[in-house]
Each structure stands twice: as structure tokens, then as C-alpha cells.
Amino acid sequence: MLNAISFANTILGHSNTPQLQSGFLERIDFILSSPKLSQQIIEAAVKRNELVLEIISDHYSVLTKFKLTSP
């Protein structure tokens, strides 16, 4: 299993000061799959480089590449 931990931005409307946000700035994003599909993961990554994500969301994109085979 591949885990990715990232840290949230300041989008939290109910916590608009650094002191109030301190307890909310960590998040964990997961990619869920069946056990069989998870054996075919080639690559997994958290896309963090887009500045616009700091404004519009408190999550980053989580991307996974699978090697799919015929049944």
C-alpha cells in the first residue's frame, strides 16, 4: 500500500487564523482499490505543484498509474 501525506492550505473558512488552523492542517489522501488491482500499481503520486490548488481546495490531486491486463 502506498500512502501519501500532505498538508492543507488556508481555505478553512471556520478557522481563519493560523492559531485556529493549527489542528486542521494535516490530511491523508488514499487511493482505494481491490487487492488484485493494487498489485498492478505502477506509480502513485500526489500532485502538489499547481498553485491554483492552494486557492480552490484543501486537497491535492492523487494520481495512480495501473498496468492493466486482459481477464
Q: For the beta carbon of residue 45, count every other beta carbon within 10 angstroms.
A: 13
User: What is the value of pTM for the model shown?
Assistant: 0.49
Residue type, position 19, single letter: Q
Per-residue confidence (pLDDT) for residue 3, from 0 to 100? 46
pLDDT tens across 48-62, in order?
Answer: 766 666 666 667 778
Cα separation, 8 vs 53, whole angstroms? 10
Q: For the beta carbon of residue 25, count every other beta carbon within 10 angstroms.
A: 15
- Facing residues of 47 across strands? 61
Residue 18 has pLDDT above 70, yes or no: no
End-to-end Cα distance, the chain: 23
Per-residue pLDDT band for 42 (boundaries 50, 70, 90) equals very high
Residue 12 has pLDDT above 70, yes or no: no
Residues in the chain, total: 71
Q: Tell me the average pLDDT across 10-27.
A: 60
